[in-house]
Structures are given as structure tokens and as C-alpha cells.
Structure 1
């Protein structure tokens, strides 16, 4: 039998946001035993010890005897809310990214998934970048009815985040494939804006992510201009007389009330004074925390088709998790938010998705 892979033990510990002391306590082993394992002093622990650690982590024993996981590093990733995250949340989110491409790699051996059709827009300002990708994708000035579906068709892999409200979203490139992880605990409109924000990072900051308010403002500006093109906004909402008018109009572009108000201001449809007055009304109405007349949430089309095809081959989420040697709850954390609740598979029809 191969030796225990200590790096995988550390990976699972970080994913579960456990300290070594807490893991030792949950597994019923001494801290010294775990410390000696982590430092590589003990190379051949008893199967009883490994089983206890695996049970405490909720991972199958087989996970800890495979090759190293190709882990993500913080500098590879664009985090939407890094300052609000604890070190444990950051490490767990990075680990979820690695699990995402483990799943993607496994699926890619069985299907021809869409390849990336993005541009390198690092030298363009956010407004120009949004116009460039719209032109490249043939969108014109019309609204985007389903952003996740469009991004998946352009080769972006979209997964769910399960680290709580402090982690909004993040994105990264790996081996020429772009990934976006979304927090689906937020409203449908805000999650959609997060997706557009991360697309901005993938396009404008592909050469290396950097921290800073300017970078985040650029991604916000890109998202606003991608989702609400100025030309379409002027054509359909050239005058604003009340907050209720904004609420009634937001569904055209699939954005939140505050986001649409900001777009109206940036497009010079609202004066600075009018915008500030509307912001006060938005705050009083509670629309910064609860979206009125919320739109229907967007879900993944790609992963649904993949799972339906695999289901026809008698693959379930449980059997896929077993193939990857990961817990079922990790499979669900990656996919549940972007798949939505399904009681039964729909009629399998994977047009555009070919088995290898």
C-alpha cells in the first residue's frame, strides 16, 4: 500500500477549516501524533490512525493515498472580498477551487467541453473592455438574458462557493481554462453582477491578480457596462421620475436596484443630486439588503447536461464522488447552487456536448 500523502491530509484539514489541534481532538489522537505526521517524522501511521483522521475530516480514506492535489495559491486568484475573509476562509475557498478543477478534469476525459473564447483585454479600460467582449461575442447592445449560460458556452467553468457570506466570488485561470466560483446565498441579481465582475477580472487581469480598490472598481465598472450597455439604457430609460420606475425597469437588464441607479448616474441620465436622493430612498426602502421583485436565479446549463448524460450511463453524484475519492458533500458544495434543486433528471438532451 502507498504511503499516506501528508499534503492531502493538510489540504482536507484546510478545506474543513480545522486547526491541527482541533483535528487531533476530533480524531481522538494526540496533538503530538498529528504534529509528527505533518512534519514527516512519522511516515507510516497505523491504519487505525488514518481512518480516525479521515472520519474526522469527512473524507474517504482513499483520498489520502493519491498523488498531490494541484493546489491554488492566493496570487492566482481574484477574491471579491479578500479583506473581509479570515485566513481559514481563504484557505478553504482556495481548496474548493482545487476540487473544482479535479471535477472538471474528470469530466473532460469523458466529454468535449467548450474551450475558452475570451480576449486579453489587460490594456483596455473597463468601458472599452465591456464593449470589446460584447462585440467579440456578437451581443450588440441587447441585454444578456442568461449570463451563466453564455459564460459556459464561452468556456468558463462556473461553480458554487459554500464558505458563507464573507466570500462573495472569485475567479482564476488554470491551463487555459477560466473558472468562476459564485456565492449563491446572495440575491439572483447580485450573484449575476458578481459573475460579470469576475469575468472582468478574467479578461482584464489575466496576467496576474493584484489587490487594491482600483482593480475592484475597474471590475465593477466592467460588470455595469457589460450588463447595462449605455446605448440600450438611453433607448429604454432615458428619463427617471421615481424609484418605482427603476424597480419596474431593472428586469430588462437583470441587475439590482442600486446597480441600475448607478448605471443611470454613470450614463448622465441622473444628475449627482438626483442620484444621491434616490440612494437615500433605496436605503430607506431596504433595497440594499433585500431586492424587490427579485428575478429568477440563473443556473448552470453545462453541468446539468453533463450530469444528465452521466446519469444515462448510470453515474450518480455519489459514484462520481467515489471516482474522485472526495465526499459527496464536496460534490454538492461545488454544484448545488448552480444546478438548483432537482427532484428528477429532465429528458436528456446534451446538444452541443459530445462524449469523448
Structure 2
């Protein structure tokens, strides 16, 4: 990628218009446009001001493009604008490039996801597909304690992106590797639903009258709470579900209370009328926006960050490069405290 391409990527990732960025760095909008189209080359001073305005290192403009991103599925609100979509995609592109760069330092850590792709034409086949994947990953029927960690361990790269209210999640391939990115400002149960939904897009080949979004939604419940598990917890037939019961199950399985109602309805544990009445109770109390009780904790991807600190420990990268790859300040508080304690111990020994 050229310097102009990098300038455009950083501008869109920062959601800057040409005019806004030009005003920030003291040049004309036409100058920015020429830089991006490689019709002119910015001076070192302009590059420095660009890096400050766009909050990237100067080295970013000279980084070669190393990844091809192919979008597969995109969950968003209808009001998400084109500029916001471009900003999201550019920010994801930068994150994936950094991820693949640090991963390349450890070839033995590069494991193919080897995900199955199952043709499904009915809801029952989706239930079977979810069970087959759990069996393939040796999960049994128990609750999945940490879905992010599970996906990372199975070769799926997981990213979190914040700052975009109307974005939910997306799935794509980066140099052939499956990648899932989800919104950051979510409770853990909503985050896990997004991840499970996108996983469904990766493993389901939806055909016939089924709709891909409908299929992915059904897959989430079937994967997080298999039918046998749901009936074990709820029973085979119920006339009602208790709010406290749903809250406890939410925290046991990481599936929202409302998703549990859908799961019970889908499996005919409760009737359509019972489900409608429960959903009405949630709307009346505004629980459909924020469910009652303690929220389920969100999960954090750790693999990329772990590899960066490993590379730093092995002197494969400098501290400044580690910070650039991480995209945030290094967590050195514990390290500094340990060094201070070590220094005190040495002095005491003398």
C-alpha cells in the first residue's frame, strides 16, 4: 500500500472528512486529496502533523500492505452510514495487519481453524450442525465458560471495536483465516450472542427457504445451550418461566434471559403465547434494552496481546514497536514494581 493509501486508511478509520483533516494539519483539502491519490508526496513536517492528527505513528504510513480482507457477513443497524462503515473497515484492516505481523514471528503458533461447512435446509439441521461442532471441539453438553478464548484456541481471530453505536459484528477472511469482530460496548451475553451468530455464518451453508440471519440466530442458542441441556435445565414442558430462574441460567451459560425464552419456545418447552407474554413483560419493564439483575461480564481477546508480550520478552521487537502493534500503552506497572523490588533486594544484600 502506498503512502497515499495509508493516509486515506487512517483518515477513514478516524472518521475524518477531507476538510476536517486539512483544517487539523493546516493544508488544503485539495492537498490531502492529492496525497491520497499519490499525485503529491507530503513533506516530513506534514507527515508528522498527519500522524498527530490521526493518532498513528509516522511508521504507519510506510507499512506495506500484508493482508487481503474479504468480508463475509456484516451485522449492523440500518442507520449505520457509509462513512461509518468505511471507518470500521479501515480500523479493522489496521488491526488485522498488526495481528498477522506479530503472529508471523511465531510460525508454530499459526494453526488453521479447519472449520466444517455444513449444508442446512431446516431448523433441525441447524441443531444438528451445532451439536456436530461441539463434538468436533470436544465440548460435551456443559456451559462454555469463555467463548472468546474457545474461538481463539480453535484458530479464529477475535477482535473488539469500540466507538460505533450502530455496528454489531462482522465476519471475514484475512489471508484465508476466519476473523470475527464484535462491538466493544456490550454486556457479555450480548457479546457472546454476536460471536455465536458470526460463528454460525462461518460454519453454515444455508440453502432452501432458510434465511442466513434466521439460521445464524438459531445456531447461537443451539451451540451455547444444546436442546438436551435446555430440557435438563427447564424441563420438557413448562407453563411459565420465572425471571429469577432466567437470570440464573443467563449467568450459568452466558446466554441472555430473552435468548433463553426464544430457546424454550424454539424447542416447544413453552408455547408461543407464553413466550409472547414473557416478552411483553420485558418490554413493559424496559428489560428488553437492559435485562434486570447483575450483567454478565464481557470477555476479552488475549491471544494477540499475549504474542506481543512474548515477542517483547524474546527481544524480537522493541518496546516502542510492541506498543505500536498493541495499539495502546504497554502494561508495565507490574514489571516496574518487580524491578524496583529487585533493586531494593540487591541493595539490601550489599
Aligned to 1:209: none
Counterpart of 2:167 in 1: which secondary structure? coil
Pair 1:230-2:227 in alignment: yes
Say whether the 8 Å CA contact 1:116–1:176 is kept in structure 2. no
Aligned to 1:49: 46
Aligned to 1:296: 297
Counterpart of 1:179 in 2: which secondary structure? strand
User: 1:1-356 maps to which residues of 2 (within 5 A)?
Assistant: 5-42=3-40, 44-68=41-65, 70=67, 72=69, 76-81=71-76, 83-111=78-106, 112-113=108-109, 114-123=111-120, 125-204=125-204, 214-238=211-235, 239=238, 240-291=240-291, 292-313=293-314, 318-322=320-324, 331-332=327-328, 344=334
* Alpha-carbon distance, 1:122 to partner: 4.3
Mapped partners of 1:265, 1:33: distance in 2 = 59
Aligned to 2:346: none
TM-score, with structure 2 as normaliser: 0.82
Counterpart of 1:83 in 2: which secondary structure? coil
CA RMSD of aligned residues (A): 2.8
**Deviation sequence 1:32-89 (CA, Å, 0-9, x none):** 22233333332x333233333232222222222333464646xx24211153321122
Mapped partners of 1:158, 1:344: distance in 2 = 26
Say whether the 8 Å CA contact 1:8–1:69 is kept in structure 2. no
Cα distance, 1:318–1:82 mapped onto 2, change above 3 Å: farther
Counterpart of 1:84 in 2: which secondary structure? coil
Say whether the 8 Å CA contact 1:169–1:198 is kept in structure 2. yes
Say whether the 8 Å CA contact 2:188–2:297 is kept in structure 1. yes
* Alpha-carbon distance, 1:317 to partner: 6.9
* Alpha-carbon distance, 1:31 to partner: 1.9
Mapped partners of 2:138, 2:203: distance in 1 = 17
Say whether the 8 Å CA contact 1:71–1:94 is kept in structure 2. no
Aligned to 2:347: none
Say whether the 8 Å CA contact 1:243–1:278 is kept in structure 2. no
Unaligned runs of at least 5 residues, structure 2? 336-350
**Deviation sequence 1:258-308 (CA, Å, 0-9, x none):** 111110111111111111111111223332222323223323343453244
Cα distance, 1:102–1:40 mapped onto 2, change above 3 Å: closer
Mapped partners of 1:98, 1:150: distance in 2 = 23
Say whether the 8 Å CA contact 1:182–1:191 is kept in structure 2. yes
Mapped partners of 1:287, 1:110: distance in 2 = 47
Say whether the 8 Å CA contact 2:312–2:318 is kept in structure 1. yes
Greater relative CO (CA pairs within 8 A, separation 6+): 1
Mapped partners of 1:176, 1:71: distance in 2 = 8
Aligned positions, number: 322
Mapped partners of 1:15, 1:69: distance in 2 = 18
**Larger-Rg structure:** 2
Mapped partners of 1:138, 1:257: distance in 2 = 26
Mapped partners of 2:228, 2:333: distance in 1 = 42
Counterpart of 1:169 in 2: which secondary structure? strand
TM-score, with structure 1 as normaliser: 0.81
Counterpart of 1:258 in 2: which secondary structure? helix
Say whether the 8 Å CA contact 1:197–1:219 is kept in structure 2. yes
Unaligned runs of at least 5 residues, structure 1? 207-212, 346-356
